[in-house]
Structure 1
């Protein structure tokens, strides 16, 4: 009798689960946005002369289910992913000394003898992200300089810190706020990753198993699988890049498109200033992984 009852309950549960899988739901951007999966990478370089270089990058997918059963699965998996995300965020903030805006979908961070920087992409609006950074950086003892530029789709704020001047740039693109926070250190980088005076240097690499095309303002460069994949790990790795994977640009805004075979093209617009060096990696599923190196 007990076996029969158990069988009936199991069958009923399976029937209910199957039925739930077929019940359509209305998309809810707020509820369905938590991370469903998270990919994290970290590298640490040390030398006998005390040189230390830490690099982080992470991406996470978002769940937008069409059916109730998919939403239930998203909720369960997302709960685990958010736990891992909180652990990662706390560790990165402690190790790097830079805050990480909430609901991020992609982030990169660098702490080298030349610079401390972070790039974050989040669906939060400009005002919310700017408010978060102002509060978080004030707690760290950073003071905001006069003359901040705050517009509906962008913001530029300069801070004074005990380690030198720092810069926060925000831009709104396609329902995403892109935040770039950087503090350049006094030590000069190696000459081969420094840009020509007054210009910007962009270094390109590919972490995937497929060839990738990177287009920067109509100039397209084909990268073989894993070409320059370690360029953001250290200045020595960046120095080894061939000239074909280096582009010198004028300061300004640039449209960048990344394309892997069989995947949809991913597009971004980046703002860069004079005397900056950036690395741009083709990440998982063609995701662009930008990182300020100098």
Structure 2
């Protein structure tokens, strides 16, 4: 083989490889996954009675490639992200005392003296998430009570546990399953946390270094950088004189839009049952982080 022939073959291979990398591809949710890493936050405070109050949140971005080359990169990064995710899921399940399914995009968790809660959003279908929780909670000794409501787009199951009554609520929304798991402990709640009877309470905070605007239904609240972020600390959040905006609402579905400075506005629907209190924290890139507080 002459030098000219070898050069031509190498050049041709390079052109072919470059062209292949630029081939458009159709995104595949079953194959294209998390690849941009995991953003995590953790808060810990001690109550006057020496009990520990902890809050966690995490978001995971998904890589959606437009070309073959990007898919190859996404695949390599996805392997690392999934490995990190499995480690995080195990630690969260141990620390929060609540199981966390694989494949989540967003999660928040709370472990206070009067509640343990976890909010999880995942592209997995509702049946798969329901099966995961039933198996995991059964292994932890939780017992389902009669009256479970199971439908294609939602499910609600009550449990009895040695620590108190618990509820699992699943909702299918925007091609994802939203799972809310909560356990009410046998402890008195901090004054200021519960909503008015029959109502729901929403507390707002901003985790970011930028100003943000939160719109709840048609009410708009401006949040300076880090304003109200201490809603993650139950004692501070409960103080009526704190700077954390609080909104009392009727139970049901509420449209929420979050616009952080320099980020795209993000809208979503929050469905909250009567007598519940939630925090809504503005997270990285303006991602709304719902946290069950009561």
Provide the TM-score with structure 2 as the length reference: 0.90
Query: Which residue pairs with 1:291 in the alignment?
Result: 291
Query: Which residue pairs with 1:242 in the alignment?
Result: 243
Query: Which residue pairs with 1:187 in the alignment?
Result: 187
Structure 1 residue 228 displacement after superposition: 0.9
> Do the aligned partners of 2:236 and 2:242 also contact (CA within 8 Å) in 1?
no
Give the distance between the partners of 2:65 and 2:18, measured in 1 at CA.
15
Distance 1:103 1:146, change over 3 A: same
**Secondary structure of 2:229's match?**
coil
Structure 1 residue 238 displacement after superposition: 4.8
> Do the aligned partners of 1:149 and 1:155 also contact (CA within 8 Å) in 2?
yes
The 5 A counterparts of 1:8-27 are 18-27=18-27
The 5 A counterparts of 1:1-294 are 18-47=18-47, 49-239=49-239, 241-242=242-243, 245-294=245-294
**Secondary structure of 1:230's match?**
helix
Distance 1:192 1:24, change over 3 A: same
Give the distance between the partners of 1:16 and 1:75, measured in 2 at CA.
21
CA RMSD of aligned residues (A): 2.3
Distance 1:9 1:134, change over 3 A: farther
Give the distance between the partners of 2:238 and 2:14, measured in 1 at CA.
54
Residue correspondences, number: 287
Between 1:192-201 and 1:229-238, the stretch displaced more is 229-238
Flag structure 2 segments of 5+ consecutive residues without an equivalent.
Answer: 1-6
Provide the TM-score with structure 1 as the length reference: 0.90
Residues 122-154 of structure 1 deviation map (CA, whole Å, 9 limit, x = unaligned)? 011111111111111111100111111112211
Between 1:52-61 and 1:24-33, the stretch displaced more is 24-33
Give the distance between the partners of 2:60 and 2:82, measured in 1 at CA.
10
Structure 1 residue 34 displacement after superposition: 3.4
